[in-house]
Structure 1
Amino acid sequence: MDMKIIKSEKKVCPCCMEEHEVKTVLVNEQASFKDVNVNYEAVYSFCDEAEELFMDDRQMQDNDIRLKDAYRVHEGLLTSVQISDLRAKYGITQSDLCLLLGWGGKTITRYESHQVQDRAHDTILKKIDEDPEWFLELLNEAKEKLPIESYQKYMEAATRLYEKKQDVYLRKAIEASYAGFQGKQILHGNTSLSLDKVVDVIKYFAASEKVTNLYKVKLMKLMWYADALSYKTRGAAITGLVYRALPMGAVPIGHNSIIDLKDVPCEEVDMGETNAYHFQLSGKHTFPSLSKEDKYILDIVIDKLGKMSKNDIIAFMHKEQAYIKTAPREVIQFKYAQSLLI
């Protein structure tokens, strides 16, 4: 008999009524549920003396769930474990999730035990699982019906998930804006876009005591110089960013989104008629995506340009062949890095 032993314990065997090691095993089985044939692993106890499989009440319930979960997988529905896991992400009880969704109070309990959800309910549960922003909307609608402690607990968990998800969406959007540059090595510095490196480069500049008054315009120039110098000396840029020639110098495509990436130390500063973006990082930090060679390049840029004012670095960049020979708003080719002034 083909079976997999998962546990063994000495006890009185209900099969032969003798005391000996009773094994808990998994057995591959096939069964039909809602006219669909599915394969699943059923759990049994096995008596060596009688050489027989048998089930207790708990195993019968477990096998019922296993069969129905196999059917769910076959039909593309969430399994009972996945439903339980999505609740655990938000730290929400079965009854409170039903309250948020306007379902009967035992609906989720049944879905996590013996009842297979219909496709409409499954779609809603998947949206809850994938979209913490929607969960936050539902939570606010049900705020008056929940104890304040529960509401705050769910709000904190959902907010953390939303912020994490927001960064994923933002990264995908930035990467999509770079899709058209794939294969054009001279435009992205012979390097595939790495947003992890982009974040670490920004953090590295922001953490340096040798970099003064690091606002967005200056940061963008430092990043271009780092990528250009890396390309000049190593044949490949650090970040894979693509830069355009704007009036104040080189600016990477997607710059407005890049500064919103998670872990970028950006602070919005009210300057009266407009807002400015300041970058500063205090204390000790690690930059796991950067190699020693990357940091060496960044340190050269910091030593040469770190204390320049915004206007000075703009004027300095305007003297670069890369800027002079690139038409306004066009992409700056990395071939001009060979004539870099630093």
Structure 2
Amino acid sequence: MDMKIIKKEKRLCTCCMEEHEVKTVLVKDRATFKNLKVDYDASYLYCDAADELYMDGQQMQENDMRLKDAYRRAEGLLTSAEISGIRAKYGISQSDFCTLLGWGGKTITRYESHQVQDKAHDTILKKIDQDPEWFLSLLNNAKSNLSAESYQKYFDTATALYEKAQDSYMRKAIEAIYAGFQGNQIFHGNTELSLDKVVDVIRYFAASAQITDLYKVKLMKLMWYADALSYKNRGFAITGLIYQALPMGAVPVGHNSIIDLKDVPCEEVDMGETNAYHFSLKGAVAFPSLSDADKNILDAVICKLGKMTKKEIISFMHREKAYIETAPRDVIPFKYADTLQI
């Protein structure tokens, strides 16, 4: 029998009723739960004298949970530990969590101990785990049913989680805008949107000593040239961004949200009557999402356009066939990349 010994101790063996070294072992078991056969690691006590496996009361409970968690994993449901982990994340008690969700008072206790949740409840728990903003909304609705101290504690924890998750919300919002364009490869340059690459491209430009006065208008043009040059040379863009023809040249769809993404080194500068957005990155930095070939494209763009002023790069962009042939505010197709001036 294939078993893994995890503990040995001298004790009364309730199998043979003699005192000797008893092993605690893990054994691969298979059982059927809700008409599904699942494999799981079961814990047993092993008696060498009788060459038999047996369980105590605690092991019976643990093995029941191991079986049910194996079933949960097979069905794509949260395990008991993952459910308790969600509670721990928000620092909320089992009973208050039920109050928040409008469930029976012992529902979470059962899910964390012996009962497998249905898919509807599982979906709700997963959303709570991923969406602290929704937790805050539910918390507000349940405020009258919670103590003031508990409410404030949960509110503070969820607010901190929400603030940390803002980049995730921002990314989802940008991805939602781009979802409608996915069927048109000529708009996104044969590349699915990668916000990791978008951020790294901005950081790469911001870190370059060869680029002067990198403000938002200039950055947007550099990004378009990088994607267009990549498409011209390799048949696909770097970032998957979609660009519109605005009065000062190419600008990515969702540009205002893009510059607010986490790790984008953007500083808002007071220019008197208006504010400007400056991009700068100092020190040793890494760009994990960019390949060497991507960096070669960016370096070519920097070499050609890095020293241009805002006025010069706008004028240069306005001479591109891609800009001339695209109606104002329309999406600029990548089919014009072959006529690129760089």
Q: TM-score, normalised by structure 2?
A: 0.79
Q: Secondary structure at 2:329's aligned position in 1?
A: coil
Shift of 1:300: 3.2
Q: Is the 8 A contact 1:92 1:154 kept in 2?
A: no
Counterpart for residue 320 of structure 1: 320
**Which residue is 2:113 aligned to?**
113
Distance 1:269 1:94, change over 3 A: farther
Alpha-carbon distance in 1 for matches of 2:266, 2:192: 24
Shift of 1:221: 0.7
- Helix, strand or coil for the counterpart of 2:322? helix
In 2, Cα distance between equivalents of 1:61 and 1:255: 55
Structure 1 residues 289 and 68, CA gap change in structure 2 (3 angstroms): closer
| Residue of structure 1 in register with 2:175 after alignment | 172
Distance across 2 between alignment mates of 1:192 and 1:147: 42
C-alpha deviation, 1:222, in angstroms: 0.9
Report the counterpart of residue 54 of structure 2 in structure 1: 54
- The separation in 2 between residues aligned to 1:180 and 1:71, in whole angstroms, is 38
1:9 aligns with 8
Q: How much has 1:150 moved relative to structure 2?
A: 6.5
How many pairs align? 334
Q: So what's the TM-score if we normalise by structure 1? A: 0.79
Once the two structures are TM-superposed, the CA of residue 129 in structure 1 deviates from its matched residue by 1.9
Distance 2:147 2:280 in 1: 38
Post-superposition shift, 1:139? 4.6
Unaligned runs of 5+ in 2: none
Counterpart contact for 1:226–1:238, Cα < 8 Å? yes
Aligned residue in 1 for 2:298: 298
Paired residues of 2:243 and 2:251 also in contact (CA < 8 A): yes
Q: Which residue of 2 aligns with 1:89?
A: 89
Aligned to 2:27: 26
SS of alignment partner, residue 183 of structure 2: helix
* Farther off after superposition, 39-48 or 49-58: 39-48
The answer as to whether partners of 1:170 and 1:261 remain within 8 angstroms in 2 is: no
Deviations 1:15-51 (A, max 9, x none): 222423524233535466xxx4454544322223213
Aligned-partner Cα distance in 2 for 1:231–1:150 = 49
Distance 1:118 1:332, change over 3 A: closer
CA separation in 1, counterparts of 2:230 and 2:122? 50
Compared CA separation, residues 193 and 69, structure 1 to 2 (3 A) = closer
Structure 2 CA distance, aligned partners of 1:56 and 1:316? Answer: 79
Match of 1:251 in 2: 251
Separation in 2, partners of 1:291, 1:77 = 37
Q: 2:294 & 2:331 partners in 1: Cα distance?
A: 23
1:36-95 per-residue CA deviation (whole Å, 9 max, x = no partner) reads 445454432222321322111210221333355466668875432221122233344545
Question: How far, CA to CA, are the matches of 1:151 and 1:288 in structure 2?
Answer: 35
**Superposed displacement of residue 6, structure 1:** 5.2
In 2, the alpha carbon distance for the partners of 1:168 and 1:244 equals 20
Q: Which residue of 1 aligns with 2:194?
A: 194
Q: Is the 8 A contact 1:27 1:44 kept in 2?
A: no
Offset at 1:286? 0.9
Give the counterpart letter for 1:125 in structure 2.
Answer: L
After superposition, the Cα gap between the structure-2 partners of 1:230 and 1:168, relative to the gap in structure 1 and judged at 3 Å, is closer
Note if contact 2:188-2:237 (Cα within 8 Å) is conserved in structure 1: yes
Distance apart, 1:166 and its partner CA:
1.3
Q: 1:288 to 1:64 in 2, by over 3 A?
A: closer
Once residues 71 and 232 of structure 1 are traced to their aligned partners in structure 2, the CA distance between those partners, rounded to angstroms, is 51
Partners in 1 of 2:75 and 2:198 — Cα distance? 41
* 2:159 alignment partner in structure 1: 155
| Stretch deviating more after TM superposition (286-295 or 38-47) | 38-47
Give the distance between the partners of 1:113 and 1:318, measured in 2 at CA. 66
8 Å Cα contact 2:210-2:307 kept in structure 1: yes
C-alpha distance in 2, partners of 1:288/1:144?
A: 46
